[in-house]
Amino acid sequence: MFKNHLISTLRFLKRNKIFTGINILGLSLALAASFIILLFVINELSYNSGFKNRKQIYRVLSYYADHNITDDETSYVLAKSIKEEFPQVRYVAPISRLRNFSIKLKEELIPLNNAVGTDSEIFQIFDIPIVGQTKNILADPNSIVLSSTQAQMFFQGEDPIGKDLIAFVNDKEEVFVVKGIFDDMPVNSNLQADCFISSKWPLEQLNLRFKDRNAETDWRLNYWETWLLLDKNADRTSIDKQFRELEKKVHGEVADNTYFIQNLTEVYLGSQEINSGQPKGSIKNIRIFSSIALLIIIIAALNYIILSTAVSTGRSKEIGIRKTHGASSQSIQKQLLNESIIMAMMVLPFALFLSWLVKPYAEELFQTKLLIIESNIIIYAVAYLALTLFIGLASGLYTSSFLSKLNVINIFKNSAQTGKSKSYVRLTLIVIQLIIFCSFVSGTLIIRSQYKYALEKDPGYRNKDILFINVEKIPHNSAAFLTSIKTYPNVISAGGATNALPMLSSWPYSIELPDDKSKKVSIELLAVDYDFVETMGIEVLEGRSFSREFGSDGETSYLLNEKAVEALGLTDPIEKKIDVEEGTVIGVVKDFNLHSFHSDIPPLLMVASDAYVMQVAVHYKPGTLGNLLPLIKTEWEKVAPDQPFNYKTIEEFKKEIYTGERNLSVIISFFALFSMLIASFGLFGLTLYMVKSQTKEIGIKKVFGSSEKSIVLSLLRENMVMVAIATVLSVPPTILVMNRWLTNFSYKVDIGWWVFALTFLLAAFVVLLNVFYHSYRASQINPIEALRYE
Amino acid sequence: MIKLSKIDKYYDSRFQRTFILKGINLEVNQGDFLTIMGPSGAGKSTLLNIIGLLDEPSAGEYYFWDEPAHQIREKQKVQYHRTHIGFIFQAFHLIDELNVYENIETPLIYRGVKGKERKALVADFLDRFNIVAKKDLFPSQLSGGQQQLVAIARAIIGSPKLLLADEPTGNLHSEQGEMIMKLLKKLNDEGMTIIQVTHNEKFAQYGNRIIRIEDGLVRSDAMNIALQAEV
């Protein structure tokens, strides 16, 4: 029976080329788009799934209540304490990544970016199989365990175990002995490593940096991730209790930071709020993109339904014949369902090819590598097949149940498909498609307008003609560099600070209230030099800015913003003494957006200090950037000849900050285009069939003197009504979703009515473009031919 | 074997009831070749559809193989279509996407006949109807008469007990019509019960009994005199 069905299906598709073509195009576009999204989603969800005992692996997080910050870095000594005092922890290891670790290969130093300093237990925690020594592999401080890629690079086919390597670590050469090899870490995991070495080396590095402290025992040198493996039936609440006791012991009765553990399965997607240098996924993005994929699939499925019910004229005869020859409704339904599934399956290879083709562009859009991860291949295959089957089922379900229930007599009388109610169903489906399209369009417009708003809104400081130069690499020469720049006539002023504005990181500080020393409030710090406030055009409301004329301005003179004055409860702030380092308030500046528009303006305390200058801001005369840049660059080369010259204009910097928003708007506008294409195919095909079935009606109208213009207009009017309804109906869901999205921002645009007006115009244009050709053709119908009987 | 008593078929519109059939009483016996005649709109096709279990009467009783058809469930009807009833139509109604062979094969598939047996049966019928050479052609490549031939082969390949023909010669030239009627006559002689609807007086004479319907009522019901004379 299946063969018989397959044959008639294939021949039917071959004969109805427009129907088939439109469906294949629509389905393959939709499938390709959702394949790409699915690839992204699967990769994100499979992060860290390469570790077998991931349910038992945890990392320790540290929460600072004063600033409401959670950090993934802890002290070295924490792991030791846990090992001694926590019986339910089977293994625990601190890890720290070394800055500047390189290995000599034929007189050349090859830098290893992921050199991990840790203890031997790391291999038990993550269950990393090693070739070579298996026990206490890192006990000897000069041991090194290489990844198989690195081993291949340094030993090219030789057996590396027991061989020596010369490494450059902590500014000196050291001899390391290769003790073992491990398979490369899965790319989608938080534990990335080129090699493992003893924790001695990062400790040494820290001790060099903080000369008066001992990194091995200091509870405040938080530069280590602490990973542990819990016993299978360990009780997590007992761990919390033990942490509380530990905190009391080391930090005193009122502990300012508390520890808790996070499971490995939550590390990637559940760390949005955690201060960490580790890669983070966003469950929000996964949701956004999955819903986009679903909407696209719905549009394509609707297309199929709309078209297949429209062309059912050709199909219903066959169904009638089959029924009179003993086919039951169920068998007809099965046949039609098979048909749509076959269609979807035929599209599968084409869609795969298409998604492979657009993958590089999608990578740019998503700002992430869309890797085809080997361990996920089965998941991809299953997911893709399931999705294809789903789209086949979704499209076929309505059509098959509708067509299989048609009455045989009606079919043979040729009246089964002209029923008014059916065409209403079709119109409804088209309206749904248009709603999705309109939502995409207005969503894009809203995101775009928020993006523009974020770039253009006055942040309370100079918004243009500012150049930021990164001087992190020349901490001792930044003052000299600044002085030399200021000599150029096109430079109005130049000043340095710890950060460029808007500030990306934050420097929170708990400050005592001047009136009540027992109470503390959280405030943010920004260290600037004498000229930064003036260069950035930050407005001073009261008192004065930092100035060289007052010799005392150093680390004990403070500028506050209005929010800080309020938070500290100061009424007449000037000359008031406040905490930090027994300083004096010398002025109050107007509130400005220290951070991006995502967050509120925090209470801010600015301190004058050349010691922390990391970024230099240059205020130049408008339009002079082009000839100024080479001059500044030569100055840079004078002070730092071997360092790269990193600079960006404030416009570029802001664009960088809001790339997420820009990318999202581009992504959604792409999918708007996709949905438009797919829906247009459907509308085009449908109008073709509609006009065909209305030939007689149009013929009669013409006989009774209807003009061609009025025929075209009447066809267009119907479509315009549809567009209007769809636009109106798209407003509430769009506003709902976009308002939620806008809560990401503390400063945001209002959703204006123009968004929807523009959407309506665009949708109307697209629809008219599709319908006009057919309408015009219909108006040219020769009534004699249209009305000829049979 | 077929018995209709007081069969009504009507449609209710808002203000009035329109009768298609009114109080039809009819009995058809095994081996009959019944011709239904009457002007357009008299209700001939509706009557045929009711007999063929495609349509349901609005009132009255209908016994199909002594079973009360007005109570038969949908599933049972499908079963009857598979085993008891064959249809042929004025417009032939072959499946355009299937070739001659596949069209003839279709009802066997629904009857659940196994592949090998199906092959043999279809080959046998192609041979009997002299259309072996055309088995790979599609309906659009055949003349009207040839299409109807295929349709008949398809209708009777499942060896139904009853063959219903709705104006089988309506779309054919007289010569082709003659051929089709002779074929039907032959099938009847072999024992097949046939009910046909026709406008053509001459072709009506192939049956052994003619009923005439007008405005939903049976006007006359007579044994075919010509045939009787022959006997």
The whole-model pTM stands at: 0.79
How much is the average pLDDT of A174-201?
90
With beta carbons under 8 A apart, name residues in chain A contacting B78: 326-328
Residue where the block lists tokens 């010691």? A611
Question: B107 to chain A: which residues are within 8 Å by CB?
Answer: 325-326
> Which tens digit of pLDDT belongs to each residue from A311-330?
766 678 888 888 888 888 88
Q: Is B48 in contact with B164 (CB distance < 8 Å)?
A: yes
In a domain, residue B9? The reply is: no
Residue A196 bridge partners (DSSP)? A116, A145
Instruction: Please report, rounded to a whole number, the percentage of residues in chain B having pLDDT higher than 70.
Output: 97
What are the chain B neighbours of A1 within 8 Å (beta carbons)? 109-110
> Within 10 Å of residue A248's Cβ, how many Cβ atoms?
12
Pairing between β-strand B59-64 and β-strand B2-12 as defined by DSSP bridges: antiparallel
Residue B24 resides in a domain:
no
Confidence of residue A399 (pLDDT cuts 50, 70, 90): confident
Mean model confidence pLDDT for chain A: 86
A489 versus A685: which is more confidently predicted?
A489
**Mean pLDDT, range A284-291, rounded to an integer:** 89
The answer to whether the CB atoms of A7 and B102 lie below 8 A apart is yes
Is B135 inside any structural domain? yes
Residue of B85, B109, B113, B164 to mutate for A, most A C-beta atoms under 10 A: B109
Interchain proximity A320–B87, CB inside 8 Å: no
User: At residue A468, does pLDDT exceed 60?
Assistant: yes
Q: Is residue B19 part of a domain?
A: no
- Provide mean pLDDT across the span A275-297: 87
B104 pLDDT tier (thresholds 50, 70, 90): very high
pLDDT category at B226 given cuts 50, 70, 90 is: low
Is residue A550 over pLDDT 80? Answer: no
Q: Based on the structure, what is the number of domains in chain B?
A: 1
Task: Give the whole-angstrom CA distance, residue A23 versus residue A29.
Answer: 10
Max mean pLDDT among A422-426, A648-652, B39-43, B171-175 falls in: A648-652
Instruction: Show contacts of A695-701: CB within 8 Å, 24+ apart.
Output: A695/A778, A695/A781, A695/A786, A696/A786, A696/A787, A698/A778, A698/A779, A698/A781, A698/A786, A699/A781, A699/A782, A699/A783, A699/A785, A699/A786, A699/A787, A700/A783, A700/A786, A700/A787
Contact A533, A589 (CB under 8 A): yes
The tens digit of pLDDT for each residue in A745-767 reads: 999 999 989 999 999 999 999 88
What average pLDDT does the segment A378-383 reach? 90
Task: Tell whether B17 is covered by a domain.
Answer: no
Nearest to A322 among B54, B105, B106 (CB): B106
pLDDT of residue A790: 42
Cβ pair B97:A318 closer than 8 A: yes
> Chain A residues with CB inside 8 Å of B152's CB?
none
Task: Say which CATH number the domain at B150 has.
Answer: 3.40.50.300
User: Which range is least confidently modeled, A71-85, A498-512, A772-786?
Assistant: A772-786
Q: Tell me how far apart the alpha carbons of residues B195 and B217 are, in angstroms, rounded to a whole number.
A: 18
Q: Which domain holds residue B156?
A: 30-56+73-230
Which of A3, A322, A325, A342 has the most B C-beta neighbours within 10 Å, making it the best mutation to test the interface with B? A325
Is the pLDDT at A269 greater than 70? The verdict is: yes
Q: Is pLDDT above 60 for A722?
A: yes
Which residue in chain A has the smallest CA separation from B107? Answer: A325
Chain B, nearest residue to A320 by Cα:
B93
Average pLDDT taken over every residue of chain B: 88
- Evaluate whether residue B206 is within a structural domain: yes
pLDDT of residue A521: 86
Are residues A543 and A574 in contact, defined by beta-carbon separation less than 8 angstroms?
yes
Q: Residues A763, A723: contact at Cβ < 8 Å?
A: yes
CB B97 within 8 A of CB A12: yes
pLDDT digits (tens, 9 = 90+) for B154-170: 999 988 999 999 989 88
Render A212-276 in DSSP notation, one character per residue. Answer: TS-TTT-TT---BEEEEEE-TT--HHHHHHHHHHHHHHHH-SS-SEEEEEEEHHHHTTS-TTEE-
A409 reaches B (C-beta below 8 A): yes
User: What's the pLDDT score for residue A419?
Assistant: 45
Confidence of residue A414 (pLDDT cuts 50, 70, 90): low
Q: How distant is the Cα of A271 from the closest Cα of chain B, in angstroms? A: 59
Does residue B185 carry a pLDDT above 50?
yes
Residues of chain B positioned with their CB less than 8 A from the CB of A790: none
Q: Answer yes or no: is B167 within a domain.
A: yes
Q: What is the pLDDT of residue A418?
A: 45
Region A183-201: mean pLDDT is 90
What is the structure's pLDDT at A551? 62
pLDDT digits (tens, 9 = 90+) for A483-530: 888 889 999 999 999 888 898 888 888 888 887 777 888 899 898 988
* Bigger pLDDT: A129 vs A711: A129
Q: What is the pLDDT of residue B80?
A: 87
Separation in Å, CA of A777 to nearest CA in chain B:
28
* pLDDT at residue B231 in the model: 42
Higher pLDDT, A611 or B120: B120
The answer to whether residue B67 sits within a structural domain is no
Confidence of residue A255 (pLDDT cuts 50, 70, 90): low
Residue A92 clears pLDDT 90, i.e. is over it: yes
CB contact under 8 A, B93 and A320: yes
For residue A279, report the phi and psi dihedrals to the nearest 5 degrees.
-60, 140
The 8-class DSSP code of residue B140 comes to: G
